[in-house]
Amino acid sequence: MPLLVREPLPETPEQRTLLQELDNFSHVIAVSPFAANLLLDHIDNWWPQIPLGLQWYGVGSGTSSVFARHGLKARQPKQGWTSEALLELPSLQSLAGDKVLLARGEQGRELIRQTLEQRGAKVSVMPLYRRAQPYYPPEQVDEIFGDFRPEVVIALSGETLNNLNALAPDYHASLHRILVVVPAERVARQAEESGFQNLMVPDGLDDQNLVISVASTLAAKR
């Protein structure tokens, strides 16, 4: 049940300027696989060959793998898959005068930009997409939460949780008791404030780790 729709944004004159000056940057960061794919598509329109000397970064393994498929070796956190973990990388500590290109959604957390600017970097944000909540008719919501009655919900962003709450107000009592898988402790705290009581942060966000973490948690409860 997708609870986020990502809509690519049209290319703007500001984006074209950033892309044409890509070789002036030292670091290129993408916050998600979707952002990485869109960024590479835009770069491909302007650069027959990707400039050398850039350091590429993905917040998690999924984002880094997008770069890898294009022959780019991306750095990622050794532990964790959050903005906080990315900012622990040694190459992002001392950035006096370095230019950083940050590929992300139209709206999002400002932690990466603000932290890198505090460390001396000149950060250019490139918004590549916007997120929206999809519409589901009431009968489909009733079928999923009233008839199917999930025992586990995997919601891998705070925005997904917010949309879930907004979508199914009549089912809060049951939803707030079932196992909800969230991507990080920060989102777990947000979920608790929203009324969710049974939360789990998995060992990783890839499919294998999600399956193992959920299965182990359910087995332990039974």
pLDDT band at 57 (very low <50, low <70, confident <90, very high): very high
Model pLDDT, residue 220: 84
Q: Residue 74: is its pLDDT beyond 90? A: yes
| Residue 208 CB neighbour total at 10 angstroms | 9
Predicted confidence at residue 67, as pLDDT, reads: 94
Q: Is the pLDDT score of 73 beyond 90?
A: yes
Sequence-distant (≥ 6) Cβ neighbours of residue 123 within 8 angstroms: 100, 102, 112, 113, 116, 117
Q: CATH assignment of 138-217, given 3.40.50.10090, 1.10.260.40, 3.40.50.12780, 3.40.50.300? A: 3.40.50.10090
Asked whether the domain spanning 138-217 has the same topology as the one spanning 5-132, the reply is yes
- pLDDT over threshold 90, residue 217: no
3-state secondary structure of 5: strand
Q: Which long-range contacts (CB under 8 A, 24 or more apart) does 148-154 make?
A: 149/174, 150/178, 151/178, 151/179, 151/218, 152/178, 152/179, 152/180, 152/181, 152/214, 152/218, 153/178, 153/179, 153/180, 153/181, 154/180, 154/181, 154/210, 154/214
Confidence band of 62 (pLDDT split at 50, 70, 90): confident
- The answer to whether residue 54 scores a pLDDT higher than 90 is yes
Could you state, in order of their start, the residue ranges of all structural domains in the chain?
5-132, 138-217
Entry pTM:
0.79
The predicted pLDDT at position 156 comes to: 87
Question: 187, 186, 183: which is closest to 209 by C-alpha?
Answer: 183
pLDDT of amino acid 183: 87
Q: Given this model, what pLDDT does residue 22 score?
A: 96
Segment 151-167 mean pLDDT? 91
Separation between Cα atoms, residue 111 and residue 121, nearest integer Å = 13
Q: Which fold has domain 5-132?
A: Rossmann fold (3.40.50)
